[in-house]
């Protein structure tokens, strides 16, 4: 990675009483990155965001923005802004007054405020809603206002706490594209917390998978999906077959097998209703489920229960109880490290 980091976390930890929410996170974030912090609820990701925003004080470690430690800086004086999960729009203020609030607190002149608020509302594709109150807007519109209200201050880092979780599925996908567009447009570093792996993979330049208060793997979406380092990451991101390596001998041969645990993604397993060339193993389809674009088959083969994803167009003959041939290539077998608790 190039250049000095914009935001640096050094061994940041936070415990509430005996509960350790964050257990020592060290990571650097570059200017202009879109990073998703991905984890199940309770993994400490929201606490981490609140530590950066300044609503919690770390029990240990340091947080530095542009080389300056933030620990002693109260939230109102940190050059980061947060998009709240429930948006936290001020109900007694109009959309415009909401967006201008941060500028007003920094004593920006009224004319300048109005100009910048207009620009921010245009950026999130919400012109001409300024005189309305938050309650008069739809969920998606409120979400956009919350983003505009934070971005208008031109923070060094924009923090987003599950910003899309309150939206329904269709709107969520539309807003994902919007967030990506906005981030490209303004070039501000986005730190986006989510429990939705699809959201993280499709949005982020880098994904940090968080578990039990730690970053267990940080990498590009492709790295995270295709080369997960541990069983935990593999099972959290995408569907997976986690198999002890010796059990793969029928496919890889005794020499290809060895120790440890491996991952084979369901779509990487070749499947056919007729015998295939090479090292194919015969199995029986136990159950199939139709998902539109793909068909998921549960196949018993070589003493394993394997999940296999097939494009729906290629799924002819894959019916319950049918005999099938499975193929697994050595390059699709990913070695997994044992998880550290």
- Binding test (CB under 8 A) with another protein, winner from 17, 91, 254, 292: 91
Neighbouring residues of 146: CB distance < 8 A, sequence distance ≥ 6? 83, 84, 87, 88, 89, 163
Residue 46 or 230 having the CB closest to another protein: 46
* 88 lies in the binding site for another protein (CB under 8 A): yes
* 106 lies in the binding site for another protein (CB under 8 A): yes
Give the H or E element holding residue 110.
helix 110-123
* 86 lies in the binding site for another protein (CB under 8 A): yes
Residue 31 or 133 having the CB closest to another protein: 133
* 135 lies in the binding site for another protein (CB under 8 A): yes
Q: Which of 194, 122, 108, 109 is nearest to 151 (CA)?
A: 122
Residue 22 or 310 having the CB closest to another protein: 22
* 276 lies in the binding site for another protein (CB under 8 A): no
Q: Which residues pair with 29 in a beta bridge?
A: 7
**d(C-alpha 43, C-alpha 231), whole Å:** 17
- Binding test (CB under 8 A) with another protein, winner from 5, 133, 186, 226: 133
Q: Which of 34, 53, 46, 6 is nearest to 150 (CA)?
A: 53
Q: How far is the CB of 205 from another protein (least distance, A)?
A: 24
* 105 lies in the binding site for another protein (CB under 8 A): yes
- Binding test (CB under 8 A) with another protein, winner from 64, 84, 154, 165: 84
- Binding test (CB under 8 A) with another protein, winner from 21, 35, 51, 53: 53
> Exposed, middle or buried by CB within 10 Å (0-12, 13-18, 19+), for 29?
buried
Binding piece for another protein, criterion CB under 8 A, among 70-78, 121-129, 184-192, 228-236: 70-78
Question: H helices within 271-310, ranges in order?
Answer: none
Q: Which of 236, 255, 249, 252 is nearest to 336 (CA)?
A: 236
* 17 lies in the binding site for another protein (CB under 8 A): no
- Phi/psi at 51 (5° precision): -65, -40
Residue 81 or 129 having the CB closest to another protein: 81
* 46 lies in the binding site for another protein (CB under 8 A): no
297, two tokens = 């088959």
**d(C-alpha 87, C-alpha 145), whole Å:** 8
Q: How far is the CB of 217 from another protein (least distance, A)?
A: 29
220, two tokens = 């590009």
Q: How far is the CB of 134 from another protein (least distance, A)?
A: 8
Residues near another protein, by CB under 8 A: 53-55, 57, 72, 74-77, 80-82, 84-86, 88-92, 101-102, 105-106, 133, 135-136, 149-150, 153
């Amino acid at each position: 990675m190039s250049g000095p980091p914009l935001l640096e976390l050094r061994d940041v930890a936070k415990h509430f009483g005996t509960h350790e929410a964050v257990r020592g996170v060290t990571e650097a974030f570059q200017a202009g990155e879109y990073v998703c912090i991905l984890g199940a609820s309770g993994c400490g990701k929201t606490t981490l965001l609140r530590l950066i925003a300044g609503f919690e004080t770390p029990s240990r470690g340091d947080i530095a923005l542009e080389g300056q430690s933030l620990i002693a800086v109260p939230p109102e004086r940190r050059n980061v802004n947060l998009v709240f999960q429930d948006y936290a729009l001020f109900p007694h203020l109009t959309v415009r007054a909401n967006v201008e609030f941060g500028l007003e607190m920094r004593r920006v002149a009224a004319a300048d405020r109005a100009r910048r608020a207009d620009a921010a509302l245009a950026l999130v594709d919400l012109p001409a809603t300024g005189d309305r109150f938050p309650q008069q807007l739809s969920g998606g519109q409120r979400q956009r206002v919350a983003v505009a209200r934070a971005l208008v201050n031109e923070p060094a880092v924009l923090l987003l706490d599950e910003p899309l979780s309150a939206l329904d599925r269709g709107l969520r996908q539309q807003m994902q594209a919007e967030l990506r567009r906005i981030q490209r447009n303004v070039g501000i570093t986005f730190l986006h917390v989510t429990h939705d792996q699809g959201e993280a993979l499709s949005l982020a330049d880098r994904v940090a998978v968080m578990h039990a208060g730690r970053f267990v793997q940080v990498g590009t979406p492709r790295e995270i999906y295709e080369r997960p380092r541990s069983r935990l990451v593999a099972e959290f991101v995408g569907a997976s077959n986690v198999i002890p390596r010796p059990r793969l001998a029928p496919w890889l041969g005794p020499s290809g097998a060895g120790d440890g645990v491996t991952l084979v993604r369901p779509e990487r397993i070749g499947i056919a209703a007729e015998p295939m060339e090479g090292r194919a193993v015969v199995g029986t389809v136990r159950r199939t489920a139709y998902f539109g674009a793909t068909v998921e088959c549960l196949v018993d083969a070589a003493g394993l229960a394997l999940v296999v994803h097939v494009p729906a167009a290629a799924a002819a003959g894959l019916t319950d109880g049918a005999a099938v041939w499975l193929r697994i290539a050595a390059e699709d077998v990913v070695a997994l490290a044992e998880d550290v608790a």
